[in-house]
Amino acid sequence: MSGTEGFDPDRVKCVVWDLDGTLWDEIAVESATDALPVPRPRMLAAIDALADRGVLSSIASRSAPSVLGRLDDVPGLRARFLAPQVSWQDKSESLRAIAKDLGIAVEALLLVDDSPYERAEVEALLPGVRTLDPAEVPALLAAFEGREETPESRARVHRYRTEETRRAEAERFRGTREEFLRRCGMRLTVGAATPEEIPRALELAARTHRLNSSGLTPDRLRELAGSAGHELFTAAMTDRFGDYGVIGAALVDGTAPAVRSVPLLALSCRVAGRGAAAAFLFRLMERSRAAGAEEFRVTLRPTDANLEMRMLLRQAGLRRTDDTADTADTAAGAVLGRSLHGDLPEPPAWLHVSDREDTEA
What is the number of residues in the chain?
Answer: 361
pLDDT tens per residue across span 5-49 = 767 888 899 999 999 999 999 999 887 777 899 999 999 999 999
Residue 89 is given by DSSP the state S
Equal fold, 9-144 vs 179-360 = no
User: For residue range 62-71, what is the model confidence (pLDDT) as tens digits?
Assistant: 999 999 989 8
Q: Which of 307, 308, 182, 177 is nearest to 239 (CA)?
A: 182
Render pLDDT for 136-162 as a digit per residue (tens, 0 to 9). 999 999 998 876 667 777 788 888 888
Q: Domain residue spans in the chain?
A: 9-144, 179-360
What class, spelled out in words, does domain 179-360 have in CATH? Answer: alpha beta
DSSP, residue by residue, 250-301: EEEE-SSTTEEEEEEEEE-GGGTTTTHHHHHHHHHHHHHHHTT-SEEEEEE-
9-144 folds as Rossmann fold (3.40.50)
- pLDDT, tens digit, 9 for 90 and up, residues 270-323: 888 899 999 999 999 999 999 999 999 999 999 988 999 999 999 999 999 865
* pLDDT confidence of residue 328: 43
Average pLDDT estimate for 176-199: 94
pLDDT of residue 144: 87
From the centroid of its chain, how far is CA 158? Answer: 14
Q: What is the DSSP track for 296-360?
A: EEEEE---SSTHHHHHHHHHTT-EE-S--GGGTTSTT-EEEEEE-SSPPPPPPTTEEEEEHHHHH
